[in-house]
Amino acid sequence: MLKMLKTSAAFGAVAALFGISVASTPAHAQIETSVGTFAPTITATTNYIFRGLSQSKKGPAIQGNLEYTYAVGDFTPYLGIFASTVSFPANNTPAGQQTIRQWTEVDLFGGVRYATPLAGLTLDAGFISYTYPNNTADKNTSGGANTYGSPQWNEFYGKFGYDFGLAVAVGSIFYANDFSYAGGNAWYYEGGFDVPLPYSFLLSGRLGRQTIQNNYSFGAPDYTTWNVGLARDFDFPITFTLSAVYSDTNIKKGSSLGFDKVAGTAGTLQPDAYEQTKGQFSLSLIKKF
């Protein structure tokens, strides 16, 4: 993956799969057992978007998610795994244009949700580890011209959701002390609403802000992102959820996202060949078992 583009999740598909938003799409199907509840999901999306930037070169991706929960009173601890196909543009370096091969993303997450005494208010705190098995960036640690920081990183998060009848207000904050590609300390803040509409549609909107300590290393400025989407459950010919999302950022359109820092020196300016900074659309089909 291109270091300036590392972010992870399609709104409507992955947000719900991770539980990153409290109520961004219709609820999962669940498999109840004597040892807890399992919620498996498979998603096909036309564009894997997270925090306003595509992780599939604006092309399709296949994703899977499995979450395990075990309720204890008002607390619900959970553990899960998310996997997706990914595709990223080549990266410019002092040694020329290089492709950092990362075909698969595998994320591990866990936390606990709390149904507070205040009716409608739910809190959530947890941890996500973003990994890219067999990526070529991690394999090159020689310190040469094509050396990159690791694309893999961990985040802690806190979230809330408040259902006040006509809509659900949601908010979240994420923190990483060693962000992707040596980005350093990074924060992501997000807030928005989920509004039930007639005919069983769910309208969702989000506004987020990504800050990065080492913009030069990561290859992107601090930026604001927003998205709006519609989701609806269907029962024919099989049960599934259809989600449509439009996402955008305030990064200057058509321009580079920043400089790549390679082996401690300034790389060449990375052109936005895949128009990653323009507004993007995704259509996701989500199958819940």
CATH assignment at residue 259: 2.40.160.40
Q: 206 and 49 in contact (C-beta within 8 Å)?
A: no
Which is nearest to 181 in space by CA: 249, 278, 270? 270
pLDDT number for residue 272: 63
Instruction: Please say if the pLDDT value at position 93 is more than 50.
Output: no
The pair of structure tokens assigned to 72 is: 């204890």
What residue numbers bound the domain in which 76 lies?
A: 3-288
Q: Which of 39-48, 70-79, 179-188, 194-203 comes out lowest in average pLDDT?
A: 179-188
Instruction: Please say if the pLDDT value at position 35 is more than 60.
Output: yes
Question: Residue 260, class by beta-carbon neighbours within 10 Å (0-12 exposed, 13-18 middle, 19+ buried)?
Answer: buried
Tell me the pLDDT of the chain averaged across its residues: 81
pLDDT classification of 197: cutoffs 50, 70, 90: very high
Instruction: Please say if the pLDDT value at position 9 is more than 60.
Output: no
Question: What's the CA gap between 75 and 123, in Å, rounded?
Answer: 10
Q: 188 and 213 in contact (C-beta within 8 Å)?
A: no
Q: What is the mean pLDDT of residues 165-171?
A: 96
pLDDT number for residue 274: 64
Question: What's the CA gap between 77 and 126, in Å, rounded?
Answer: 9
SS3 letters across the chain: CCHHHCCCCCCCCHHHHHCCCCCCCCCCCCEEECCEEEEEEEEEECCCEECCEECECCCCEEEEEEEEECCECCEEEEEEEEEEECECCCEEECCEEECCCCCEEEEEEEEEEEECCCCCEEEEEEEEEEECCCCHHHHCCCCCCCCCCCCCEEEEEEEEEEECCCCEEEEEEEEEEEECCCCEEEEEEEEEEEEECHHHEEEEEEEEEEEECCHHHHCCCCEEEEEEEEEEEECCCCCEEEEEEEEEECCCCCCCCCEEEECCEEEEECCCCCCCCCCEEEEEEEEEC
pLDDT classification of 217: cutoffs 50, 70, 90: confident
pLDDT number for residue 218: 76
Answer with the residue of higher pLDDT: 44 or 261. 44
Answer with the residue of higher pLDDT: 185 or 87. 185
Predicted structure pTM score: 0.84
pLDDT number for residue 33: 86
- Pairing mode of beta strands 184-196, 168-179: antiparallel
Instruction: Please say if the pLDDT value at position 26 is more than 70.
Output: no
pLDDT number for residue 16: 42
Number of structural domains the chain divides into? 1
pLDDT number for residue 257: 61
